[in-house]
Structure formats: C-alpha cells, structure tokens
C-alpha cells in the first residue's frame, strides 16, 4: 500500500504543475467478490471499501482519472443459494489494495465550474494494479493465507454525478474489476503452489471479479480552464 500511496502523491504533484482544472476527493461504499466461494450475485456489497480519487479534466466530456482504494472482500458457502456450495462449506476473507489509472467519459458536457446545477452519467475504464493475500485450502477444508501477491485488473465502471456547489461534485458508481487471477478465494493458488492440482477447486478456467458500489465526493481547484481538444 505504501507503493500505491507514493505513486498517487507523485501523480498528484505532476498534475498540479500544469494550469488545468483538477478534482480531488474520496470514495466510500461496499465491495463484493464474484468467484468460486459463496454467493454469485454480481452486485452484493457486503464489506467496506474506502479510497481517494483525483481527476485531470481535459475537456467537459473527458478526464484522466486516478484512484487508490482498499476493499475487504469475503465469501461464505453457507450463504450461497447453490446446494453444492452449501454442502462444501468453504469461506474466506481477503483485502484488496488497488491503484487505478484511466479515462472517465461523460455522456453530456460537465463543466466543474458551472454556475448552474448539472449532472451526467459517465463511464470509466483503464488499468488497475492491486495487491492481495494469496490463499490456499487445507486438507481440513479451511482456506488460509500463505503469501502476498499482486495482479492486474480491468475496471469497468458506470456512474452518475452532479455538482452540489460551484466547486463540489458528488457521484454514485458501480465498478466491476475483472482480475487476472483466480486466487482471491484460494481456489487456484499461485506462486510455488501453482502446479499442485490437489489444492484447486471450482472453475479454474474463470478468473475472479470484485465490485465496488458507492459514492464519490470531489472538489475542483485550479484556475478555470480553457479546454483543449485533447
């Protein structure tokens, strides 16, 4: 997490060196995972997720966006509607710490310095790097920690935002992260255990997802921009 925080601060300092308009703020909500343990609901926030967010508005229609987030994820077969998972009885908890950078695109023009009430739906995507706890199952059926790991994900976010004053914005978003690992739940161990077939369970051909559902609050600063075409 220290690495992610350092990168976040460096990027923020770099952006402040330009005469553009920026937003900085926070995000809070819930997280859930989709994989081989527990429920299979796509949107089912059941644990806390918090983070920070900044945007570099390049026009009234798009902005470069970066964020850091810490999210708890968990799964419990006892709460699944799948009878096979109920009988199996696995459960786990994990913590995801992510850094995400990409492009936010608004459906309608959104000027952060507007003198009137404005709102718009938006989409965000880019590239996410994250760390997590590598898990594995034991012969007794428990899922336990054995190492730390890192991976990448593709964020797919849809949201709706509005201004609440001349320089303050609030948004609601749902963002799924398609990860490049199948070990958030311990079903397909990585590193030194990757070749041990006895430790694998579930669908090992499908990687895990995690989803953030919550609100963002940002504040604009810097001089009013003369937007360029880029």
Q: Is the pLDDT of residue 18 over 70?
A: no
Name the residue ranges covered by the structural domains of the chain: 2-221
CATH code, 2-221: 2.40.160.20
Largest CA distance in the chain: 63
The per-residue pLDDT of the chain, averaged, comes to 89
- Report pLDDT digits (tens) over 56-109: 998 889 999 999 999 999 999 999 989 999 999 999 999 999 999 999 999 999
Distance CA 31, CA 33 (A): 7
Helix (H), strand (E) counts: the chain: 2, 8
What sign results for the dihedral spanned by CA atoms 13, 14, 15, 20? positive
In sequence order, what E strands does 38-196 have?
Answer: 47-57, 62-76, 91-106, 119-137, 143-163, 168-179
Distance CA 88, CA 91 (A): 10
User: At a CB cut-off of 8 Å and minimum separation 6, what does 76 contact?
Assistant: 37, 38, 91
Distance CA 148, CA 198 (A): 21
Q: Is the pLDDT of residue 190 over 50?
A: yes
Nearest alpha carbon to residue 73 among 27, 35, 31, 130: 31
């Amino acid at each position: 997490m220290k690495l992610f925080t350092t990168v976040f601060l460096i990027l923020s300092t770099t952006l402040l060196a330009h005469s553009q308009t920026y937003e900085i703020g926070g995000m809070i909500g819930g997280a859930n995972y989709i994989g081989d343990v527990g429920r299979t609901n796509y949107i089912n926030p059941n644990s806390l997720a918090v983070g920070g967010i900044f945007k570099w508005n390049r026009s009234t229609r798009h902005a470069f966006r970066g964020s850091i987030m810490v999210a708890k994820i968990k799964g419990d077969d006892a709460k699944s509607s799948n009878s096979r998972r109920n009988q199996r009885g696995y459960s786990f908890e994990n913590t995801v710490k992510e850094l995400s950078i990409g492009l936010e695109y608004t459906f309608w023009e959104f000027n952060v310095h507007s003198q009137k009430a404005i709102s718009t739906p938006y989409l965000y995507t880019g590239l996410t790097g994250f760390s997590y706890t590598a898990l594995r199952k034991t012969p007794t059926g428990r899922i336990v920690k054995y190492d730390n790991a890192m991976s990448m994900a593709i964020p797919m976010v849809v949201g709706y935002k509005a201004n609440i004053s001349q320089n303050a914005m609030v948004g609601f978003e749902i963002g799924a992260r398609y990860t490049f690992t199948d070990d958030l739940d311990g079903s397909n161990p990585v590193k030194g255990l990757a070749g041990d077939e006895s430790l694998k369970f579930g669908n090992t051909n499908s990687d895990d997802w995690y989803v953030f559902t919550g609100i963002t609050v940002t504040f604009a600063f810097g001089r009013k921009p003369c937007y360029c075409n880029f």
